[in-house]
Amino acid sequence: MSEARMDTLPPEENRRRLEALARIWDNAPGWRGQLTAVNHGTVGLRFIATGFAFLLAGGALSMFIRLQLAWPGNQVLDPERYAQFVTLHGTTMMFLFAVPIMEGFAMYLLPKMLGARDLPFPRLGAFGYWCYLFGGLFLYSGLLFGEAPDGGWFMYVPLTDATYSPGRGVDFWLIGVTFAEIAAVTAAVELIVMILLCRAPGMDIRRMPLFAWAMLVTAFMIAFGFPPLILGSILLEIQRAFGFVFFDVARGGDPLLWQHLFWLFGHPEVYIIFLPAAGVVSMVVATFARRPIVGYLWIVLALVTTGFLSFGLWVHHMFAVGIPLLALAFFSAASMAVAIPTGIQVFAWLATLWAGRPWLRVPMLYLVGFFITFVGGGLTGVMVALVPFDWQVHDTHFVVAHLHYVLIGGLMFPMFAGLYYWLPLASGRMPSESLSRTAFWMVFTGFHLTFLPMHLTGLLGMTRRAYSYPEQLGVHWLNLLSTAAGFVLAAGTIAILVDAALCFRHGRPGRRNPWRAGTLEWALSHPVPAYNFASLPVVADRYPLWRDRGLAARTMEADGLLGDPSSGRRESLGTSILGGVPEQVIRLSGSSWQPLLCALTIAVLLACFIAGFYLGSALMLVVLLGQFCTWAWTTGDRHAPATVQAGPRLELPVQYACRNAPGWWALVVSLLIDGSLFASLVFAYFYLWLGTDAWPPAPMHAGAGAGAWAALALLGVCWIASATSARLMRRGGGRALALPLGVAALAGAGFLWMQWRAVASGTGAPGEHAYASVVWTLAGFHAVHVAVAMVVGLFVAARGQRGYVGVERPLEQRIAAALWAYVAAQGVMAWGVIHLFPEWA
Amino acid sequence: MAGFARPSTLVGIAAPMAVWALHFVVLYSLQGLTCGEGWNPRSSFWAMVALTIPALAVIAWLGLRALRTARAAASGEPAARRARFAAQATGLCAVLAAVAVLFTVVPVLLLPVCS
């Protein structure tokens, strides 16, 4: 593609444009600006800083754990406190550090790396951040009330049900973690749409940086992997709060259902953490080997196949629960299969180093640490994938050693490599060479001396999670060594963070692109402007800066793509999914209070819920609904022109008229996530059915009576009415939307009424039996969807009246109709499971 | 099925592994149902073996089609090079998916369905 540029721009006009861009994109000044900021750079750095703060908190807890285990019979913590610290350590590291930090890296880097101005949904990203922060604080606030969770980070039932954990600790865990997970889900939506639609012109799928490929696969894994955990948490919470039953054997439940739902998330989670780190490795290796990555295609293959195979591993956490051998063997086979793509990646990185001229600077040093550590963890992983060996070491410190080798080796070392690699970009300064090298050796030796002995203590029979061990086991010297080395590791980690923090103030000013890297983020000037590129770059290579020496300078001249800020709005470019051909100009929202206010409302809602003040929660729900409607109302622009001059000789439509609009793809991804949640619930239904003799137990029977059929017919009306909305709109404009979407809403209300009656008469109270609980939950889950579709439909109809939606701007109508279609399809499935299946079973 | 998951799209790249996932889930569910509901283990064994054949056949078809696309798209146009890249990725995924399906089915041949 030829680059469209004007001949030359007079210097004063260029300066004027740069000032205008800065004015449009900068955060507001002062505290208000900090609270309302939505820019990806600001939000991404916040994710990273908060993630490190939680790393320190989780690390401090682990130091107490190590002190307690330093010697048999120690009394540093009592057993109860020990259980709380173990739980909070695991939970913090998994949910509040590992996943958010990688989201932070992705949010900060991807727009810069892909040549865009911002993420496609800046306010959604900011909202995710506040949810993450408040969710984390919510979890830790349990400590203030003396109610910290103590059921382990996996929260196994029945230990965590209301009988054995009557306090509020488990509720703090379930609610806090789910709250924080909102960030993971919103990030998945945002990152998928970003990577698919917002790359620089010319950056087709062969030229995407491997970090973007890794994040694309990771985001899809989050979309499919997190819903089972979210569902499990919801089920356990409504069992605890409202007396439903899912996991209680006496009333038809099954505790193993929790383990399935948890590990359906839990194993992919390991790769959700590892794949972004692998993406970082692919970026750093190429730069420090000073050559393009070897086997780009093979690495893409490895990323995609790992994304799939990692879902086939979940039961390998449950080898010891008494599942039939053949089922175990399926998961054992998948666990070994996943080593193939991982091995392919490792060999590609080694080949790159082999073929290049490696340059051993600090980021590369951390990669060496990564190779050594991660390969060790991977090997023990294949060992525990073998069922008989797993039975031997199950629940011993061998597994603790393995998982820390994988997680610290696979996440922390690459992440520190990434931190040192991109620090000059974020700070404009170079980190201290001596401090960073010293810190590396502390972390590296500290880590191995802490966790290598644990393989041995585990094989000798030291169980995990127990707060002490008998002296006769003969492992006390090994434990003392682990504890001492653990403190070296902690000191090294703190040194790294201090080094990074000092760098922003006192680092040696660096020049642009100090590592001589080839990818787009290094084209940016210092300090990085909030708008990233003055004119968006056009890419013709995997390493554009290596190929095109003048590119960096050109992106600072406001004479190219979107260089003219005369619209006064935040704009970025949308390109086609495969080819990176410019398709649309995306108008983005600016600073806003909405994300913070919505997250605060959710925090109050959940606080009311945990306090048992359900009326307060219901009230906050109404407030929240109002806030979301206000937020949604401020999107879109009824005065937006149909097309915009994106650059010299390039006129593009604005996103509201474009088929590939980001909003459309956000809907598609959201529905994927929702579909996964629904599938998990249906799985729970059939799992409970399989474990129970009588289904439904007499006298319950939600069969397919006349009322149920009427409900189904009304659902059909919803779908037909919403499906005709496009045709009516084409004839009568936005105002014509009121009729079909109003009919759909009315039919939806009728459906809710008929369905409620059919379920209530057939099933009775939900707490009687697992059957009744799961039917009510399924019906309730779908009812929420119908209600949401009704609200969205009426909202779009109102927008049609005010001129936001119409023939020129059909996006919102498409979204409302597609949502109704999805809700109807989901309803048919839920209806079949609830009303038809008992007839057959 | 002419336009289904073309080897030059992102969905196409993922298609062979999706077949693996489907095969995996069906076999695992069938095994659970057989043991939970007391179905005949022998029929279940044959069903699992039988289901593997179409799974491998579909993966082979996806892989061969990708190979053809990759060969046909060897010209210098950017769109053709892009199609070639995606087709090669699809082909490699098909190889790995076939290996993974075989990995899954080996224990079926070696172990009793319920024990």
Q: Do B96 and A341 touch (CB under 8 A)?
A: yes
Residue A17 C-alpha, separation from nearest chain B C-alpha, in angstroms: 34
Q: What is the pLDDT of residue A813?
A: 96
Judge whether B90 lies within some domain.
yes
Nearest to B107 among A205, A304, A326 (CB): A326
Q: Which of A509, A539, A574 is a domain's end point?
A: A509
Q: Do A325 and B115 touch (CB under 8 A)?
A: yes
Please give the residue range of the domain that contains residue B80.
10-33+47-109
By DSSP bridging, strand A643-647 and strand A582-588 are unpaired
A326 close to B107: Cβ distance less than 8 angstroms: yes
Query: How is residue A403 written in tokens?
Result: 């998982």
Judge whether A428 lies within some domain.
yes
Q: What is the pLDDT of residue A6?
A: 52
Q: Do A298 and B92 touch (CB under 8 A)?
A: yes
* Dihedral sign, Cα of residue A464, residue A470, residue A475, residue A481: positive
* C-alpha of A562 from chain center: 30
Residues of B with CB under 8 A from a CB of A: 8-10, 13-14, 17-18, 20-21, 24, 27-28, 31-33, 35-37, 78-79, 81-82, 85-86, 88-89, 92-93, 96-97, 99-100, 103-104, 106-108, 110-115
A747 close to A820: Cβ distance less than 8 angstroms: no
CATH code for the domain of A793? 1.20.120.80
**B1 CB-side CA count, 13 A:** 6
Distance CA A101, CA A405 (A): 19
Judge whether A680 lies within some domain.
no
Residues of B in Cβ contact (< 8 Å) with A578: 8-10, 82, 86
Distance CA A532, CA A475 (A): 55
Q: What is the pLDDT of residue A2?
A: 45
Q: What is the pLDDT of residue A1?
A: 44
User: Is the pLDDT assigned to residue B1 strictly greater than 50?
Assistant: no
Q: Is any Cβ of chain B less than 8 angstroms from the Cβ of A298? A: yes
Judge whether B27 lies within some domain.
yes
Q: Do A330 and B27 touch (CB under 8 A)?
A: yes
Which pLDDT tens digit goes with each residue over A446-464?
A: 999 999 999 999 999 999 9
Distance CA A409, CA A417 (A): 11
Q: What is the pLDDT of residue A5?
A: 57
Nearest to A304 among B17, B32, B82 (CB): B17
Nearest to B82 among A204, A304, A330 (CB): A204
User: Is the pLDDT assigned to residue B2 strictly greater than 60?
Assistant: no
pLDDT mean by block of 10 residues, chain A; 841 residues: 61 94 94 94 96 97 97 93 95 96 96 96 97 96 90 93 92 96 95 96 94 97 96 96 94 94 94 96 96 96 96 90 91 92 96 94 95 94 92 95 95 96 94 93 97 96 93 94 97 96 91 93 92 94 93 91 92 93 94 97 97 96 96 88 88 90 96 97 96 84 86 97 95 94 98 94 90 96 98 96 92 96 98 90 71
Q: Do B100 and A334 touch (CB under 8 A)?
A: yes
Residues of A in Cβ contact (< 8 Å) with B85: 205-206, 297
CATH code for the domain of A239? 1.20.210.10
Residues of B in Cβ contact (< 8 Å) with A336: 103
- Taking CB atoms within 8 Å and a gap of at least 24, the contacts of A597-605 are A597/A627, A598/A127, A598/A130, A598/A624, A598/A627, A598/A628, A598/A631, A599/A127, A599/A130, A599/A131, A599/A133, A599/A134, A600/A130, A600/A134, A601/A627, A602/A131, A602/A134, A602/A179, A602/A182, A603/A134, A603/A138, A603/A179
User: Is the pLDDT assigned to residue B4 strictly greater than 80?
Assistant: no
Judge whether B96 lies within some domain.
yes
Distance CA A140, CA A173 (A): 9
Query: How is residue A702 written in tokens?
Result: 């939600």
Distance CA A574, CA A589 (A): 15
Judge whether B16 lies within some domain.
yes
What DSSP string describes A373-398?
A: HHHHHHHHHHHHHSHHHHHHHTTBHH
A556 close to A629: Cβ distance less than 8 angstroms: no
Closest CA to A708 of A757, A774, A773: A757
Q: Do B104 and A305 touch (CB under 8 A)?
A: no
DSSP-derived 3-state class of residue A653: strand
Q: Do A312 and B27 touch (CB under 8 A)?
A: no
Q: Is any Cβ of chain B less than 8 angstroms from the Cβ of A698? A: no
Residue A308 C-alpha, separation from nearest chain B C-alpha, in angstroms: 6
Residue B40 C-alpha, separation from nearest chain A C-alpha, in angstroms: 15
- The torsion angles phi and psi of A676, rounded to 5 degrees, stand at -65, -40
Chain pair A-B, CB pairs under 8 angstroms? 101
Q: Is any Cβ of chain B less than 8 angstroms from the Cβ of A336? A: yes
Judge whether B53 lies within some domain.
yes
Q: What is the pLDDT of residue A510?
A: 86
**Proportion of chain B above pLDDT 90, given as a percent:** 72
User: What's the domain count of chain A?
Assistant: 2
Q: Which of A509, A534, A555 is a domain's end point?
A: A509
Residues of B in Cβ contact (< 8 Å) with A312: 21, 24, 100
Question: From residue B108, how far is each of A452, A676, B33, B41, B59 by CA, in Å?
Answer: 36, 28, 15, 11, 20
B23 close to B30: Cβ distance less than 8 angstroms: no
User: What's the domain count of chain B?
Assistant: 1
Residues of A in Cβ contact (< 8 Å) with B37: 690
Distance CA A312, CA A640 (A): 47
* C-alpha of A491 from chain center: 29
Nearest chain B Cα to A1, which residue?
B78
What DSSP string describes A75-97?
A: -SS-HHHHHHHHHHHHHIIIIII
By DSSP bridging, strand A429-430 and strand A508-509 are antiparallel
ipTM: 0.94
Judge whether A183 lies within some domain.
yes
What is the H or E stretch that residue A71 is in? none
> Per DSSP, what are the bridge partners of residue A561?
A536
Q: Which of A509, A536, A556 is a domain's end point?
A: A509
Query: How is residue A40 written in tokens?
Result: 């990806």
pTM: 0.96
Judge whether A551 lies within some domain.
no
Distance CA A319, CA A332 (A): 9
Look over chain B and give the mean of its residue pLDDT values, rounded to a whole number: 90
Please give the residue range of the domain that contains residue A106.
19-509
Residues of A in Cβ contact (< 8 Å) with B30: none
